[in-house]
Amino acid sequence: MSPLQTKLFADFTDRSIQELAHQHGLDYVDGVGERTVFPTEDALHELRQFHEELPAGPVPAREVIEQLQRYGAPATVNTAGSRYFGFVTGSYTAVGAAAKVMSTYWDQNSALAVMSPICATLEATVEGWLRDLLKLPEQTAAGFVSGSSLANFVGLAAGRYRLLQRRGWDFNEQGLNGAPKLRIVTGDKAHSSAKKAVALLGLGMANIEYVPTDDEGRIIVASMPALDDLTLLILQAGEVNSGAYDDFEQLCDLAKAAGAWVHIDGAFGLWAAAVPELSHLTKGMDKADSWAVDGHKTLNTPYDCGIVLCADRTALAGAMNSTGSYIVVSENSRDGMFFTPDMSRRGRIIELWATLKHLGRSGVASMIYTMHERARQFAQLFGELPGFTVANEVAFNQVIVHCATDELTDAVLKNVQEARECWAGGSLWQGRKIIRISVCSWQTTEADVVRSVRSFQRAWEKEETSK
Ligand SMILES: *Cc1c(COP(=O)(O)O)cnc(C)c1O
């Protein structure tokens, strides 16, 4: 054995190294309620500790871990806590984190069943659970990917494969050169990741046919162009600012009649289908062909966890198998790599399975409905405050607010971010600057909402008194 090997062996079984990491991690969890929501200026300044040359030789394990603890932990954004409302960002449950810790030690490769029977089994089980929870067609296949950006890409790749194959064109073999021209139709509020998927697929963003949307960002059905059997139609379950849902019932009927492929980007919003009080939002979504949804947003699994779902199992397997030959999808075991672009993949299914098993059907519904109630509470409290206007119908978990002018909205948001009691981001909506509030953590309580709205109120008063 080399001296390094001897050292690595000694560390590998040295429980104190792992216990140190767990201790630091658990201390972090203890502090989540008190910690500022965004790192302090001092913590950000200390990130200079990481601007260093690669060490010439080995550094002791403890020293590496301590550097992370001392300078890394303070520079984290407190998304594990209860008052982070930026982008669309979930926390995690105790079980999700614990399962992830176990998966770290197992370090499984989910590519093939023979590489990890446990991951293949959990993937098959969760595939069935998702069909059931989201009320999707019986043969629907799931690919467990890193997030909805990739899930959008994969769902559209399955559509591209199938539409061209119906025209006698093998995309895997022949590619796009000389292929029948595919059309991409979507609303003018489509998420940037859907457009990026179109770019990555080689279809060209300039070729996207945008359909006008209404005040909430929903496709206006009467404005839809005629569709055909070479059209990929991209719909949204949860517009990223307003949280609005397209009319799946009508739009899927139009698409089906024309032979088009429908993909629904439901990164955070698809989960409404699992909540009895909210499932009217996703009515008709089961008529689509593919769906993208995240575990790491609304479901509050740890990062990274996204899922592509595809009703056409062989289209998904065909698109993800570059050999172009007929795919034999095994009855008895599930080879994950047939449903994803990657081969080697970490066992992210472990924490997804654990989260779903832990919450159960009613737990998923209750956790998500509570987020909706907190979003409505935000809208109600803002509605009672001078200086703020709520600019959307709170369909799901997203609230849009703005102040009297764009300048004031920007200034108030900056004050809120600097106060660090909560965090929200800005965006543009229907031509004006807005503040987006996304309730996506199971932890957010009524008191958190009250406290956060007070922070907004103080931020606004600061601007008013300085006039
Ligand atoms: C977040 C989001 C995505 C991208 O998902 P990632 O998991 O971040 O890759 C796509 N669409 C919508 C509507 C989103 O909110």
Write down the pLDDT at residue 467: 80
- Percentage of the residues of the chain whose pLDDT score is greater than 70: 98
Mean pLDDT of the chain: 96
> What pLDDT is stored for residue 324 in this prediction?
47
Predicted local distance difference test score (pLDDT) of residue 393: 98
H-helix segments, 32-116: 41-45, 61-67, 94-106
Atom 7 of ligand 1, nearest CA residue: 147
From 79, 145, 148, give the residue whose CB has the most ligand 1 atoms within 8 Å, as the site to mutate.
148
User: Is 220 a residue whose pLDDT tops 70?
Assistant: yes
Ligand 1 midpoint to CA 258 (Å): 28
Cα(240)–Cα(244) distance, integer angstroms:
8
Residue of 191, 234, 242, 371 to test ligand 1 pocket, by largest number of atoms within 8 Å of CB = 191
Region 178-198 average pLDDT: 98
Mean pLDDT of 454-464: 97
Looking at the predicted structure, is the pLDDT value of residue 317 above 80?
A: yes
Q: Which of 159-168, 244-253, 282-291, 329-338 has the lowest mean pLDDT?
A: 329-338
Query: Residue 293 is which amino acid?
Result: V
Cα 291 to ligand 1 centre (Å): 12
Going by alpha carbons, the residue nearest to atom 5 of ligand 1 is: 148
Q: Which residues line ligand 1 (CB under 6 A)?
A: 88, 147-149, 191, 193, 238, 240, 265, 267-268, 294, 306
pLDDT at 420 over 80: yes
State the virtual CA torsion across 251, 253, 255, 260 in degrees, nearest 10: 140
Give 132's pLDDT tier (boundaries 50, 70, 90): very high
* Cβ–Cβ under 8 Å, residues 444 and 82: yes
Q: Atom 14, ligand 1: which residue's CA is nearest?
A: 267
Q: Is the pLDDT of residue 103 over 80?
A: yes
- For residue 430 the two structure tokens come to 């229907």
| Distance from Cα 436 to the centre of ligand 1, integer Å | 15
- Residue 435 DSSP one-character state: E
Q: pLDDT band at 203, cuts 50/70/90?
A: very high
Contact predicate 431/359, CB 8 Å: no
pLDDT at 174 over 50: yes
Cα 269 to middle of ligand 1, angstroms: 10
**Strand order of the sheet with strand 306-310?**
141-145, 306-310, 290-294, 261-265, 231-236, 183-187, 208-211
Task: Evaluate if residue 10 carries a pLDDT over 90.
Answer: yes
**pLDDT attached to residue 401:** 98
Instruction: Calculate the alpha carbon distances from 465 to 402, 406, 435, 460, 462 in Å.
Output: 18, 18, 21, 9, 5
Other Cβ atoms less than 10 A from the Cβ of 3: the count is 8
The pLDDT value given to residue 340:
97
Instruction: Look at residue 141 in the predicted model and tell me its pLDDT.
Output: 97
User: How far is Cα of residue 459 from the mean position of the Cα atoms in its chain?
Assistant: 30
Predicted pLDDT at 255: 98
**pLDDT over threshold 80, residue 273:** yes
pLDDT score for 334: 87
Q: Tens digit of pLDDT for each residue in 67-77?
A: 999 999 999 99
Chain centroid to CA 427: how far?
18
Q: Does residue 314 register a pLDDT over 60?
A: yes
Whole-angstrom Cα distance, residue 217 to residue 186? Answer: 11
Protein residue whose Cα sits closest to atom 1 of ligand 1? 267
pTM recorded for the entire structure: 0.97
Question: Exposed, middle or buried, 444 (CB in 10 Å: 0-12/13-18/19+)?
Answer: buried
Q: Is the pLDDT confidence value at 25 over 50?
A: yes
Q: Tell me: pLDDT of 449 over 80.
A: yes
Confidence check: pLDDT of 466 > 50: yes
56 pLDDT exceeds 90?
yes
The yes-or-no verdict on residue 92 having pLDDT over 70 is yes
Check pLDDT > 90 for residue 210.
yes
- Could you read off the pLDDT of 325-366 as tens digits, one per residue? 555 555 677 899 999 999 999 999 999 999 999 999 999 999
pLDDT higher than 70, residue 403: yes
Note the residue count of the chain: 467
The separation between the first and the last C-alpha atoms of the chain, rounded to the nearest angstrom, is 73
Which residue has the CA at smallest separation from atom 2 of ligand 1?
267
Ligand 1 atom with the shortest distance to the CA of 149: 9
**307 Cα to the center of ligand 1, angstroms:** 11
Q: What is the mean pLDDT of residues 355-378?
A: 98
Q: Is the pLDDT of residue 323 over 70?
A: no
CA of 192 to the centre of ligand 1 (A): 8
Please give the sequence-ordered ranges of beta strands (E in DSSP) within 247-378, or none if there are none: 261-265, 290-294, 306-310
**Helix or strand or coil: residue 463?**
helix
